[in-house]
Amino acid sequence: MSVTPAAQPPPQQEPTTLAARFALYQRAGGVITPLLTTLLALFIAGLVVRFTTGASPLDTGRAILDGSGLTWFIPESVMDIRSVAGTYDDWPSEAEARLNAEINLQQTLIFTTTLILTGLAVAFAFRCGLFNIGGQGQFFVGAIVAVAVGAEVSGVGRVLHVPLVLLCAALAGAVWAGIAGILRATVGAHEVITTIMLNWIAYWIGSYLFSLGGPLQSDRSRQVPISNDVQESAKLHVFWGDFQGLHVGFFIAIAALVAFYLILNRTTLGYGVRAVGYNPEAARYGGISVSRNYFLAMAISGLFAGLAGAVDIMGWQYRYGQIDIQQSDIGFAGIAVALLGRNTSIGIFFSALLFGALLTGSNTRNLALPIEPELAGNMTLIVQGLVVLFVAADLVILYLWRFRKRLGLPRREPKAVGS
Amino acid sequence: MADARVDQAAPPVLELRGMTKRFPGVLANDRIDFDLRRGEVHALLGENGAGKSTLMNVLYGLYHPDEGEIRINGKSVAIGSPKEAIEHGIGMVHQHFMLVPVMTVTENIVLASEPRQGGIFLDYDSAAERVRKLSDSFNFAIDPDAKVESITVGQQQRVEILKALYRGADILILDEPTAVLTPQEADELFGILGTLQREGMSIIFITHKLREVLEIAERITVLRRGKKIETVPREGSTQDTLARLMVGREVLLRVDKTAAAPAEPLLTVENLSVVDERGLEAVRGVSFEVRAGEIVGLAGIDGNGQTELIDALTGLMAPENGRVRVGDRDVTTENAHQHLEHGVGHIPEDRQRRGLVLDFTLAENLALHDYRKSPNSYFGWLRPGRIVSAAKSLLKEFDVRGGGPQTRASSLSGGNQQKVVVAREVSRDPRVLIAAQPTRGLDVGAIEFVHRRLVEERDEGRAVLLISLEIDEILSLADRILVIYEGQIVAEYGPDVTEQALGIAMTGGTREGAAA
Ligand SMILES: Nc1ncnc2c1ncn2[C@@H]1O[C@H](COP(=O)(O)OP(=O)(O)OP(=O)(O)O)[C@@H](O)[C@H]1O
Ligand SMILES: [Mg+2]
């Protein structure tokens, strides 16, 4: 029989699951810890810049900020770029600078759109106590299905085609993640392992489909391992800007954030998912099927990731190819987005925006100055890695600053005896 | 006799002055003064949520007081962490033991004390020898080489005490140590505390059991709603006076009930066998029934198959053999959800692992079984307003203190958590109520309340199966008593069986020849 106790004082209540532990820190740190995590990650990235290139971290930061287009919101600041980047041969006119910022902002928000969706894919599973590392594979599957349905199906109007592609891609992502969910629910295979395996399966399926002579390879340019473009009727409307402007997928992502919140907090399904995430044994006792929720949580996660793939294809890529598959890591970026965003809607929005801005701002195209392009391109990866590292290490931040103490949080004690 | 051991003239070993601890919205400790004399056992009494654990956690450095002063041997000290508490000679035995199950007793004791210097290169043999000496000098009867997972709960507790002694504690805090012990183990613990006391150890003892207080404490301090009410000597105190001090009103310590009028059987168990997680047959061919309008008590020493029997009766574990019927319905192979639907209520013995989702609010916890049902949800959509307002009235009815519907369950005191579980199960109006340790960790007032509710449930025609390790509780509530021993029902008694007879049956004394 178990030894757990009658009146055990709160300090010893070590949360039982990952999700429960997370909830504890989330409540304790509020918005302070993610902010500090971000600042610390940026700071370390700045040190890297300093020691590898000798460039000023502050100037670099400013350059990235400008490159991200976020300065567009503050019109006066757009022109400040001159004070930092002293080496422009011909100064851009005010109008040019503003247009530049506008284009960069559109690019940032396009990335934000995808990151929100891949972030949600990680977060939803997390709230059920599962670690979905398979966002990347689910994203691939979604993108592949979107290309297939978007390019090969024709003759249906936009009103039908767009929802059809979205639906098929989302379902494909759900099936892909659902496989891992079923394996966890039935034979107990750990989702971290299975989702990683599924990532590789999706990777190679995609590589085959787009390979020269492969089933989805373009029939116009036979020499390139890339798909046909999706039909006009399957493209998402671009409502801001012309070339690679911001598409309505942005609103799909915002809607997904709202849906995430509502499903988790306002539906019976979400109640079950959270109960299982916090305490599977209590859920079971309460008559909630743990395995059913494992499956559902994974499938819904996959839905978000599949949607991410579709929105990327329909919004700006329009085609997919081997190179894209080899270079894509936006599914993995979702892990950092979710962790930094504390697996909540609001948090994910802001952390997706941050990473979207970093991706755009450190893009070599925008960041001519003052640091080397290779390093700039890797800035985002550095920050991303640091964020995951910090969060994974039980929020080192809290520890470093002894916030636990001030917040009245328990110290870590040796694990208690179960029975 | 007690006072001979206590040196009245010396300054108290420990003094707390004006201790105040606030939690958001709760004043857990309100300017509490407390002192502990050398060699005394000082009991801390109080209702659930009175602030006992909080006060002790502050003393042990787990919480930081908002105001107040701690003096040890007359000197003012600041205690910022358990490590500093240990340095000041304070040891604490939590109810939730902090032992590593796969390690030996010695490893647990020594590793915890010397984590840095020694590391894994400790001289194990000499450490084990020291532990053995320490254990022998207090008659602990602990094998230093035994793995913690293989010893009983009572022994684990002694290991915790040894750990404190090993680190040089001369002030020992025990937070509800007897809540997890069988009555026999509790007696052994009192023996040990007596020995420690003679060696000059000063002990703070938290409990809800008034009998224990009168048995071992020299002085008793009573807290109520965060305030100190009084410190009284044992002489002149009775269970009634203590209960009144705690609750602030008269408490009925005996259950008031009429004779049962059992009707049709609502829970029928036939030849039930259950295999536990290790593959051993924990319940072996058990048959009994519980009728509408009666409370059947299942008495037994911990670990004789009670847990597995409960799991099988509630659909949490599939039985190996036999059948279970609720009313006319065969529920043997049905799952937990179906059991709930067919009117089986279950107060689980382990509220934190099973009874509550600690990270959920109280309202969410109260809706655990019925969140899918109609006023709580509507086509899959939760209706938080309904859930919260239902919770509000339940919390009021069951006198849950320390929070409202939106409070997280983890921030309630242990006893109030238990009240939430009881409230949920009883309020569902189950046909069959399986109550396992329903009053574990509750204060006398709350026990009175729960007992009264159980009797009321009975009188309304429900079948109540009460599983308890406390002979007292069984004797005062049950209309019929079954004794379980090694997975079998070895005896059945009416309500007026003596405690001795029950005790003998529980240890297998009546196995031969007793009616099964
Ligand atoms: N970590 C916490 N956060 C918020 N409130 C808390 C916390 N810990 C305790 N409390 C509140 O402080 C009060 C005192 O709690 P405490 O655990 O000290 O009670 P107790 O006397 O030990 O009760 P019990 O007999 O039920 O264990 C309660 O109202 C409780 O809800
Ligand atoms: Mg307590």
SS (H, E, C) chain A: CCCCCCCCCHHHCCCCCHHHHHHHHHHHHCCHHHHHHHHHHHHHHHHHHHHHHCCCHHHHHHHHHHHHCHHHHCHHHHCCHHHHCCCCCCCCCHHHHHHHHHHHHHHHHHHHHHHHHHHHHHHHHHHCCCCCCCHHHHHHHHHHHHHHHHHHCCCCCHHHHHHHHHHHHHHHHHHHHHHHHHHHHHCCCCHHHHHHHHHHHHHHHHHHHHCCCCCCECCCCCCCCEECCCCHHHCCCEEECCCCCEECHHHHHHHHHHHHHHHHHHEHHHHHHHHHHHCHHHHHHCCCCHHHHHHHHHHHHHHHHHHHHHHHHHHHHCCCEHHHHHHCCHHHHHHHHHHHCCCCHHHHHHHHHHHHHHHHHCCCCCCCCCCCHHHHHHHHHHHHHHHHHHHHCCCHHHHHCCHHHHCCCCCCCCCCCCC
B360 DSSP 8-state letter: S
Least confident of A164-178, B129-143, B224-238: B129-143
B256-343+430-516: CATH homologous superfamily?
P-loop containing nucleotide triphosphate hydrolases (3.40.50.300)
- Side-chain-side CA neighbours of residue A256 (13 Å): 32
Is the backbone peptide bond immediately before B82 cis, with ω within 30 degrees of 0?
Answer: no
Q: Which residue has the tokens 């010396």?
A: B10
- Ligand number nearest to the C-alpha of B62: 1
Q: Residue B295: is its pLDDT beyond 90? A: yes
Give the closest residue (by CA) to ligand 1 atom 20. Answer: B49
Closest approach atom of ligand 1 to CA B417:
26
Q: Residue B239: is its pLDDT beyond 60? A: yes
Domain spans of chain B?
Answer: 1-89+171-251, 94-169, 256-343+430-516, 350-428
Q: Residue A345: is its pLDDT beyond 60? A: yes
For B357, the closest of A24, A279, A289 (CB atoms) is: A279
User: Cβ contact (<8 Å) for A278 and B303?
Assistant: no
Q: How far is the CA of B27 from the centre of ligand 1 (A)?
A: 9
Q: CB of A342 within 8 Å of any CB in chain B?
A: no
User: Cβ contact (<8 Å) for A10 and B411?
Assistant: yes
**What is each CA distance from A270 to A277, B328, B342, B359, B380, in whole angstroms?**
10, 35, 25, 14, 10
Question: Which of chain A's residues have a Cβ under 8 Å away from the Cβ of B314?
Answer: 285
Q: Residue A24: is its pLDDT beyond 70? A: no
Strands B75-77 and B265-275, sheet pairing: unpaired
Question: Which of chain B's residues have a Cβ under 8 Å away from the Cβ of A8?
Answer: 53, 94-96, 175, 352, 414
Residues within 6 Å of ligand 1 by CB = A 7, 9-10; B 23, 26, 28, 46, 48-54, 402-403, 411-416
Q: Which residue has the tokens 């890695």?
A: A385
Nearest 5°: the CA angle A233, A234, A240 is 90
CB atoms within 10 A of CB A190: 13
Give the closest residue (by CA) to ligand 1 atom 25. Answer: B48
Against a cut of 0.80, is the pTM above it?
yes
Distance from the A148 Cα atom to the nearest Cα atom in chain B, whole angstroms: 34
User: Cβ contact (<8 Å) for A7 and B48?
Assistant: yes
Distance from the A253 Cα atom to the nearest Cα atom in chain B, whole angstroms: 22
pLDDT of residue A337: 92
Q: Residue A184: is its pLDDT beyond 70? A: yes
Average pLDDT over residues B403-426: 92
Least confident of A40-44, A196-200, B67-71, B435-439: A40-44
What's the pLDDT band for A43 if we cut at 50, 70, 90? Answer: confident
pLDDT of residue A362: 77
Average pLDDT over residues A49-72: 80
- Ligand number nearest to the C-alpha of A10: 1
Phi-psi region of A244 (alpha: psi -120 to 50; beta: other; left: phi over 0): left
Average pLDDT over residues B136-160: 83
Average pLDDT over residues A321-331: 91
Q: Which residues face A51 on adjacent strands? A: none
pLDDT of residue A267: 96
What's the rounded Cα separation, in Å, for the pair B413 and B426?
Answer: 20
Q: For the domain covering B1-89+171-251, report its CATH number.
A: 3.40.50.300
Domain spans of chain A?
Answer: 20-83+92-99+340-403, 118-328
User: Cβ contact (<8 Å) for B99 and A6?
Assistant: no
Query: In CATH terms, are B1-89+171-251 and B256-343+430-516 the same topology?
Result: yes
User: Which residues between 430 and 469 in chain B have a beta carbon less than 8 angstroms from any beta carbon of chain A?
Assistant: 440-442
B11 DSSP 8-state letter: P
Q: Which residue has the higher pLDDT, A389 or B405?
A: B405
Distance from the B3 Cα atom to the nearest Cα atom in chain A, whole angstroms: 30
User: Cβ contact (<8 Å) for B156 and A413?
Assistant: no
Distance from the B295 Cα atom to the nearest Cα atom in chain A, whole angstroms: 23
Least confident of A211-225, A261-275, A346-360, B302-316: A211-225
Q: CB of A23 within 8 Å of any CB in chain B?
A: yes
pLDDT in tens, B38-86: 999 999 999 988 999 999 999 999 899 999 999 999 899 999 888 899 9
Q: Which strands make up the sheet holding B67-72, listed edge to edge?
A: B26-36, B14-23, B67-72, B75-77
Q: Which residue has the higher pLDDT, B315 or B141?
A: B315
Cβ atoms of A227 and A319 closer than 8 Å: yes
CB burial of residue B14 (10 Å; 0-12, 13-18, 19+): buried
Q: How far is the CA of B385 from the centre of ligand 2 (A)?
A: 31
pLDDT of residue A415: 34
What's the rounded Cα separation, in Å, for the pair A221 and A206?
Answer: 18
Q: CB of B350 within 8 Å of any CB in chain A?
A: yes
pLDDT of residue B479: 95
What's the pLDDT band for A416 if we cut at 50, 70, 90? Answer: very low
What's the pLDDT band for B515 if we cut at 50, 70, 90? Answer: very low
CB atoms within 10 A of CB A418: 13
pLDDT of residue A373: 61
Average pLDDT over residues B401-417: 90
pLDDT in tens, B163-217: 888 888 999 999 988 877 777 788 888 998 998 999 899 999 999 888 899 999 9
Q: How far is the CA of B150 from the centre of ligand 2 (A)?
A: 27
- Ligand number nearest to the C-alpha of B95: 2
Q: Which residue has the higher pLDDT, A373 or B223?
A: B223
Q: Residue A419: is its pLDDT beyond 50? A: no
What's the pLDDT band for A301 if we cut at 50, 70, 90? Answer: very high
Q: CB of A20 within 8 Å of any CB in chain B?
A: yes
pLDDT of residue A114: 97
Distance from the B149 Cα atom to the nearest Cα atom in chain A, whole angstroms: 7
Q: Which residue of A has its CA nearest to B387?
A: A266
pLDDT in tens, B102-121: 788 888 887 655 544 445 55
Average pLDDT over residues B280-295: 95
Q: CB of A186 within 8 Å of any CB in chain B?
A: no
Question: Which of chain A's residues have a Cβ under 8 Å away from the Cβ of B382?
Answer: 265-268, 270-271
Q: CB of A52 within 8 Å of any CB in chain B?
A: no
Strands B41-46 and B219-224, sheet pairing: parallel
Q: Is the ipTM of this structure higher than 0.85?
A: no
User: Cβ contact (<8 Å) for A1 and B354?
Assistant: no
Give the closest residue to B388 by CA, choosing from B368, B367, B365, B405.
B405
What's the pLDDT band for B469 if we cut at 50, 70, 90? Answer: confident
Q: Residue A82: is its pLDDT beyond 80? A: no
